[in-house]
Amino acid sequence: MKNFMMIFIGKEYVDLGLTEENVQARMEKWFAWGNKMEQAGILRGGEALTTQMRRIVGQDRTVADLTSADVKEIVGGYYLVRAKDFDEVQEIAQDFPDYDLGNTVEIREIMVFDAH
């Protein structure tokens, strides 16, 4: 078994101007998804990120304060899960509720450094 990170990238609800009902329906799906992983015993943790960011770029260390509205897409958070391989995580990621918004799940394996 390996540890993987599912990184959620895309638009924030607030920037898409979703209706309250739509948001609530999505919240339910998120709750349900979290519970499902929890009950399967594969969930290792996770974190949600706020929509504020400070970006520092390049040689000149140019600084910009941005919010999710200012960028094309933003990393919203991640879940850590335990699985056999990418295929298994891909299966888990089927329940991600926001594909229809054009949002993305990026699956990455957690590196384990082994000094031989």
Partner 1 sequence: MEYNLIDHLFRHHAGKMVSVLTRIFGLSNLEIIEDAVQDTFLKASASWQKQQPDNPEAWLTQAAKNRVLDIFRRIQSEKKRLPELKNGIETIAINELFLDSEIEDAQLRMIFTACHPKLDPRDRISFALKTISGFSTTEIASALLTKEETIKKRVLRARKTIKKFTISFTIPQGKELPQRIESVLEVLYLIFNEGFHSNNKDVLVRKELCGEAMRLCKYLLKNKHTNISASYALFALMCFHAARLDAKINTENELLDLKSQDRNKWSFPLIQLGNAMMNKAVENNEFSIYHYEAAIVAEHIKASSFKQTNWDKILQWYQQLHKLKPTPAHLLTMAVVCLQNKNYIMASYYFEQINPNDLEQRSYLYYGAKSDYYSEINDKKEALRNLNIAIETVHNNLEKEFLIKKKNNLSN
Q: Is the sign of the CA dihedral 80, 86, 91, 94 positive or negative?
A: positive
Residue 8 near residue 99 (C-beta atoms within 8 A): no
Q: How far is the CB of 108 from partner 1 (least distance, A)?
A: 16
Site string for partner 1, 77-96 (x = CB under 8 A): xxx-----------------
The reply on whether position 49 binds partner 1 by CB under 8 A is yes
Cβ closest to partner 1, residue 20 vs residue 65: 20
Residue carrying the six token digits 């996770």: 46
Site string for partner 1, 95-114 (x = CB under 8 A): --xx----------------
Which of 8, 9, 6 has its CA nearest to residue 108? Answer: 6
